[in-house]
Amino acid sequence: MKTLGVTGGIGSGKTTVCRFLEEQGASVFYADIEAKRLMQEDPAVRAEIEAAFGPESYTADGALDRAYLAEQVFGDEAKLERLNAIVHPRVFASFEAAKERARGEGVALLVHEAALLFEAGGDAHVDATAVVDAPEADRIDRVTERDDVTADQVRARMQHQLPPAELRRRADYVIDNDGSLDDLRRKTIALYRAVVDGSEPPSHA
């Protein structure tokens, strides 16, 4: 079994690429979804978050107060690192468990999808990494339509991620999402075959 980390800037199309990889038979572990699940459902994570950021981190009915937590860590590097130190190791432990399940199920490729793959050190947990990139204007258009936010709000989110040039430099594979959906599917199939079969990889331009 091979493991592949997939990342990309907001609005780049990495979720679509992961869907196409699933069509090829890959299993996808969504790190951001797992992080949210852990913060909501894991008693130890909840206890550490409350100890670090106060009982206000959860609402009266026990739900994670995302707005409060975001306010606590926004612009405060030390607090953000503290939150990441609570959550990221557990996410990686969950991924290791997913590896064991995937091996048992005979999965050929397990994908670790994460918005902050390199920033969190997720690249150390996979065999190879792929970055999905797209023109900035296309990314902004997608996110403003999807999330009902302004272009300036999307640009602000982009500032919290590594620049596309740095992502491309670090990645083993690059998929340029600059054409049609069929074109993206074709590139994704080529990526799958490159990682699983060692065939000719998609262009790393």
The verdict on 119 and 22 lying in the same domain is yes
Could you report the per-residue pLDDT of 183-193, keeping only the tens digit for each?
Answer: 999 999 999 99
Provide the token pair at 14.
């990495």
Give whole-number Cα distances, 122 to 54, 69, 88, in Å. Answer: 28, 23, 9
Choosing from 106, 136, 159, the residue where a domain stops is 106
The verdict on 14 and 49 lying in the same domain is no
Choosing from 77, 106, 135, the residue where a domain stops is 106
Choosing from 84, 106, 128, the residue where a domain stops is 106
The verdict on 22 and 69 lying in the same domain is no
Give φ, ψ of 109 to 5 degrees: -140, 125
The verdict on 117 and 202 lying in the same domain is yes
The verdict on 58 and 8 lying in the same domain is no
In this predicted structure, what is the pLDDT of residue 157?
82
**Structural domain for 65, as ranges:** 32-106
Instruction: Assess whether pLDDT exceeds 60 at residue 203.
Output: no
The verdict on 112 and 97 lying in the same domain is no
The verdict on 169 and 196 lying in the same domain is yes
Could you report the per-residue pLDDT of 36-73, keeping only the tens digit for each?
Answer: 999 999 999 999 999 999 999 999 999 999 999 989 98
The verdict on 126 and 194 lying in the same domain is yes
Question: With contact defined as beta carbons under 8 Å apart, do 131 and 8 qualify?
Answer: yes
The verdict on 67 and 44 lying in the same domain is yes
Q: Give how many domains the chain has, as a whole number.
A: 2
The verdict on 85 and 174 lying in the same domain is no
Letter string b/e over residues 5-40, b meaning 16 or more CB atoms within 10 A of that residue's CB:
bbbbbbbbbbebbbebbeeeebbbbbbeebbeebbe
In this predicted structure, what is the pLDDT of residue 200?
67
In this predicted structure, what is the pLDDT of residue 75?
78
In this predicted structure, what is the pLDDT of residue 158?
84
Could you report the per-residue pLDDT of 152-196, keeping only the tens digit for each?
Answer: 888 888 887 899 999 999 999 999 999 999 999 999 999 999 999
Which pLDDT band, with edges at 50, 70 and 90, does 202 fall under?
low
The verdict on 36 and 128 lying in the same domain is no
Provide the token pair at 197.
């079969």
Question: How does DSSP assign 74-101, residue by residue?
Answer: TT-HHHHHHHHHHHHHHHHHHHHHHHHH
| Domain harbouring 120, CATH code | 3.40.50.300
The verdict on 95 and 9 lying in the same domain is no
